[in-house]
Structure 1
């Protein structure tokens, strides 16, 4: 006989997972569009009321564009349905704010859609080289033969020494080609895109263990508190190791907590993005690569927060558990059960017992809380009239010093400086402006002007802006460095003239 029955059962189990269910059905595209518009790498959770309003807005926009949306429902109803379908996770903060976040199944489905939308060949030199390096590394780790391990290490040492000597002798540094780097970017994006769903699966596994742990603790009716605590403390020690996700996270936690390694990762990612091949990447891919290190930190923090939640719950259960009161309640319930059995022996099947659901209302007369006090109705003393000195109104210059940025003056300064190539960076330009244009608020105005050219990069290295307040106090601010080409300055000048001509009309 073939194994078609077993394969059919395995396929049914896979198709029943939340990720594939999300991609199935008439409204799959609608769900994907809403989730991708509402959540991102930087926006991992959304307040419940805000998400309800956003879903209503998205539905209205799609209807205006002629697209079909789920009928007879609204944002709140859809979010509740998605929680039941295990695509959204609903939780609350300590202050009672309810929020939604995507489950691991929803993240996996969005990753699949993103990979299919990239339309790139994944079988590349970078992907194959990654496989070969991993196989070589683990073959070295798995081999029990010391001589074989020594031979492999010596070969690697000789290869690296030869490359070092060649470079030291003035050899040419051969950088990767554009095609190779594009393959490396694809491989790297594929690995980075799996991080959020991987961490979310670990977090959900910890949450399931937390719920099971709490249920078992409440249902434990052993009279001996010491024996019960010993049992649950042993289970708590094995909490992380009871699931495959927990074991995987435990093995990787040493690397995730290494600050030096994470800083090195961030530096290496910056070097990779400085290659000329990165110019063909879109902004989404660049943000994905730059966000690898923050994603590792945030995922680790979320899992540790879930573990702390289990720890706090365990402590509260121990503190609040009162075995004596539970025994007393048990005796009361057993006494009620005996009385009920005795009553059933002496009554018929249709006998009723009058039972008051609420206690009677107490009638309490009003008691005077305070005696009459004549001072409470006396008028206040008359106001004294003091001679007032005339107030000098502020001058126009003083009002101007307290106002917003001078956008026109800043735009003109940027155009004049970078059109002629007199300045290297925007920070250098700011530090040479007159004192009235170097207020802290002028920094925001200058960044607003520069952002219209697309030259501002929030992830660039910072430079010092020396601001001067109206009272003469000096303050330094760190702002991402930015520079403009003469073409960008000319484009900014053209936009300014166009706006002025529109105003004149």
Structure 2
């Protein structure tokens, strides 16, 4: 039985083991908060690894030039980002376009919000905060109380209050004005609630990623039948939003804010607030935060949905390509590598070169025996059977639908040029040659063969478009168009 003090102490120890409080507890916490808040913004939630190293390096140089070099930690920006990733403040991931980026973890987002609130105006016990608390408690009691009569009484009281307000407005034609100081308190309360949203969305996304890692790890270690694995893990992949506590809470909130009409209504209400005269008493940063409430909600929704899609894709891909034997072989190979490193490290010196393995060894095996009892030497393959290339391997119909008749086409081309059918001084027109051929040589494929022969004899392309009528073996006619081509005859060449 632990005492009250010991229980409180153990609870505080567990709380300070959270990466968020650990970040704020570090010696260089102000620097970490400043660099992360400058590098990662609401408009840029992810930053490419190379860009992040460059920007953080420039920020460190500016701080050293300003005289803060004594308070900066040792190490460059790459080392600092690696430390922050190991501490759980940064998450390193690869996007679909193979670009490696950093993003803030939920713990880092929460730490930045805590630091921002602590460095800004102090929270006050105001009428707006008390009303928010009373409304929340009232809704909680109403949802938890199953008594029908109590619910009816509350609804009647609410209807009576609203009806009285409607009657007063209709009677007087005026709306009671609210003091600017009270409106300012309500706006600060809204900003306080809005600043909690990024950390909440980040926690939901990270809980989905943690569930994804758990599922993949369990799948790699699973030795059950493939059918059971498919049914269980595909079901979890399809219902990933319902598999975590944060996911179920987010699904409930999504029913309230996921409606586009609700977000449009929220944007219109914020526009009314920013047009009121009291908003001039807000600072520029506060006005910007109010103006971008809807966009921050949409960014948070996109972050969660992206994590959900990635988890479903990874789990489904792992299930489809799951091979327990191969996974065990990879795990055994990795263990062998780690064992070799542990044996090599104690005797290794600093900066000692290591000869790389440029190629894998190849086993010198002349013949693999198929069975242990197969002692006879390997026999050569059986000789190939003779094939009669001169035999009738195709019928006449098959040949009619075959490729071009090059020999007949070449003879026809030579006869056409010799007889002087064309009077074109530039050479023999291929279209005229094709039109003068018999039907057996006027197939569409023969036109291609004739163009090949023209290219071999040395053809010249003209600017006109030639039209010819081709005849298929079944008697169907096709009109074909191609760029005009002429062929130089031997006489033209001699001239």
In the superposition, the TM-score normalised over structure 2's length comes to 0.64
Q: 1:204-233 CA distances to partner (integer Å, 9 max, x unpaired)?
A: 1001111111111122123x2112212323
Query: How many Å apart are 1:69 and its aligned residue?
Result: 4.3
Whether 1:34 and 2:35 are equivalent positions in the alignment is: yes
Residue of structure 1 in register with 2:361 after alignment: 358
CA contact (8 A) 1:63 1:69 kept: no
The alpha carbon displacement at 1:180 in A equals 0.5
Contact 1:262 1:293 in 2 (8 A): yes
Q: Using a 3 Å threshold, how does the CA distance of structure 1 residues 273 and 115 change in structure 2: closer, same or farther?
A: same
Does 1:16 find its partner at 2:13? Answer: no
Spell out the pairing of 1:105-504 with structure 2 (5 A cutoff).
105-222=107-224, 224-236=225-237, 239-321=240-322, 357-359=360-362
Q: Deviation per CA, 1:133-170, whole angstroms, max 9, x where unpaired? A: 12222322222222222222111112111211221223
Pair member with larger Rg? 2
Scaled by the length of structure 1, what TM-score is found? 0.63
Structure 2 residue 8 is matched with structure 1 residue 4: no
Q: Using the alignment, how far apart are the partners of 2:28 and 2:80 within structure 1?
A: 11
**How far 1:234 sits from its partner (Å)?**
4.2
Where 1:174 maps in the other structure, the secondary structure is: coil
Kept after mapping to 2: 8 A contact 1:122/1:187: no
C-alpha RMSD of the superposition: 2.5
Contact 1:140/1:149 (8 A) holds in 2: yes
Moved more, 194-203 or 91-100: 91-100
- The equivalent residue for 2:98 is 96
- C-alpha contact 2:212 2:315 (8 A) present in aligned 1: no
The alignment of Structure 1 onto Structure 2 pairs a total of residues equal to: 336
How far 1:26 moved relative to its partner? 2.1
Taking the aligned partners of 1:123 and 1:113, their CA distance within structure 2 comes to 20
Cα gap change, 1:218 to 1:151, in 2 (>3 Å): same
2:57–2:76 Cα contact (<8 Å) kept: yes
C-alpha distance after superposition, 1:343-384 (max 9, x if no partner):
xxxxxxxxxxxxx952389xxxxxxxxxxxxxxxxxxxxxxx
Q: What is the deviation of 1:42?
A: 1.5
Secondary structure at the aligned position of 2:262 is classed as helix
Query: Counterpart of 1:169 in 2: which secondary structure?
Result: helix
Cα deviations by residue, 1:86-116 (Å, 9 ceiling, x for unpaired): 1111111112111111111111111111111
Match of 1:87 among 67, 86, 89: 89
Deviations 1:17-43 (A, max 9, x none): 111111113211111111121122222
Superposition misfits of 4+ residues, deviation over 4 angstroms: 325-330
